Amino acid sequence: MGPPPSRLLIEQARAVVELFRDVERHFQDPRGPSTGDAKVHAESAAAAATTLEAALEDAGAPPGFRKRVFLISRALGRFAASGRSLALEAERYGVSDDPRLEELAHEIRRSAEELAESVERLAAPHAFAALRAAGRAEHLRRGATRELGEEPRVVVAIKLRGLHRRFADAAIHAAEAADLLSEALS
């Protein structure tokens, strides 16, 4: 028998944190190797989720517990997938340094860290902090998107709008995972 589902969920959450740390590093230093690292951590999170789903089938836990863990894992998986897409598009677009993107990456990373803390400590306050960080990221994203109307370079504006959509996806999935965690821990 393998590791317990709670251990696998922690591994998945930690991989998601590392993924979003790599995303943040990419926006701090676009020429660094962080995008490749982000892909590795996204694959690690997906592998942990797959192992977790198999372990849940064999777990002797009550069905309600298995369902909650499964839903949280799926939400973390969508969060990780949005981070992977964000890293790939950021690399593909090659958008120059933009402090707004760094701020967005920072808030999304904070949300991932709070989610991981919530999973590890089974503490609802961390889930609420993750939800607040995702909300701040979405608030920043909306402000940055509004300012794109003033961008004189149309191609840059289009690329930035695409990255903003990816940040919005990440914020939505972070908030979804935080909601599920806070509900499970309340």
Spatial contact of 170 and 79, defined as CB atoms under 8 Å apart: yes
Instruction: Using a pLDDT cut of 90, give the percent of the chain over it.
Output: 49
Please, what is the average pLDDT of the chain?
89
Burial track 24-42 (b if 16+ CB lie within 10 A, e otherwise): bbbbeebeeebbebbbebb
| pLDDT tens readout for residues 98-108 | 889 999 999 99
Reported as a pLDDT band with limits 50, 70 and 90, residue 79 is: very high
| pLDDT tens readout for residues 58-78 | 767 677 778 888 899 999 999
Of 16, 166, 168, give the one whose Cα is nearest residue 92: 166
pLDDT, mean of residues 140-162: 91
**Higher local confidence (pLDDT), 59 or 125:** 125
Token match 């503490």: residue?
123
Reported as a pLDDT band with limits 50, 70 and 90, residue 122 is: confident
Q: Whole-model pTM?
A: 0.90
